[in-house]
Amino acid sequence: MSMPEKRMGITEVLKSVKDNAEGEDVELGEVVEHLEHRGFGPILLAPALVALFPTGAIPGIPSACGILIFLIAIQMAWGKKHPWLPNKLTSIGFSQDKLGKVIDKVCPYTKKVDRWFKPRVKILSEGVVKRFIAVLCALAGLVMIPLELVPFAVMLPAFAIVLAAVGLSTEDGVVITIASIIMVSSFYLLWVNYVQ
């Protein structure tokens, strides 16, 4: 009998990533591998936070995180239990020291934010609806790639994916709904900057 997935908030995911980071550089693959047994919510959350925080200012990191989010979310939508990710993507790294400092700075704020999340309208975190949210997250991940060229624009889809990931982890349908609205807004932002 398999153990149920443990609900994880933003702070717990951040501390888990920091505590398990080894060496001077942290690879995206290490983060995903460590969180894999926690379910898809925390796995999606990690690269979205990397893109949202100052680490996302490093050229190429938002695009790499966007592709990673796309691959994870698409496999989640297909119903896979464990995501497969290419080595070239998972080997992308960033400073463990800088990541640790960022996590230390934001944790007092994320603790307050985590209090907002609780199991509500759980049907939005299950079954077909969950797979639809995964597709939205996958599209939002792709949107991060071109938006990297627009100052601060990548923060919108990254923030939406953070909310969706925590909503899925905590079975909070209200937060998932808010995240979906923000993701649609990020699609509009892409339209305004590249299509119109």
Cα separation of 1 and 82, whole Å? 17
- pLDDT at res. 181: 95
pLDDT over 60 (residue 1):
no
Structural domain spans, the chain: 10-195
DSSP conformational letter for 118: -
- In percent, the amount of the chain with pLDDT more than 90 equals 27
Cα separation of 168 and 177, whole Å? 11
In terms of pLDDT, which residue wins out, 79 or 66? 66
Reference 53, options 169, 161, 145; nearest CA is 161
Residues 175-190 as b/e (b if ≥16 CB within 10 A, e otherwise) read bbbebbebbeebbebb
Cα separation of 147 and 102, whole Å? 23
Q: Please identify which residue in the block is written with the tokens 């966007």.
A: 66
pLDDT over 70 (residue 37):
no
Average pLDDT over residues 37-62: 81
Cα separation of 133 and 103, whole Å? 27
Q: What's the one-letter identity of residue 168?
A: L
* Mean per-residue pLDDT of the chain: 83
Band (pLDDT 50/70/90 cuts) for residue 22 is: low
- This prediction has a pTM of 0.78
- Asked if 168 and 44 touch (Cβ cutoff 8 Å), the reply is yes
In terms of pLDDT, which residue wins out, 111 or 196? 111
Rg (CA), the chain: 15
| Residue 111 host element (H or E) | helix 96-114
Average pLDDT over residues 113-136: 87
pLDDT over 90 (residue 21):
no
Helices and strands of the chain, counted as H and E runs: 9, 2
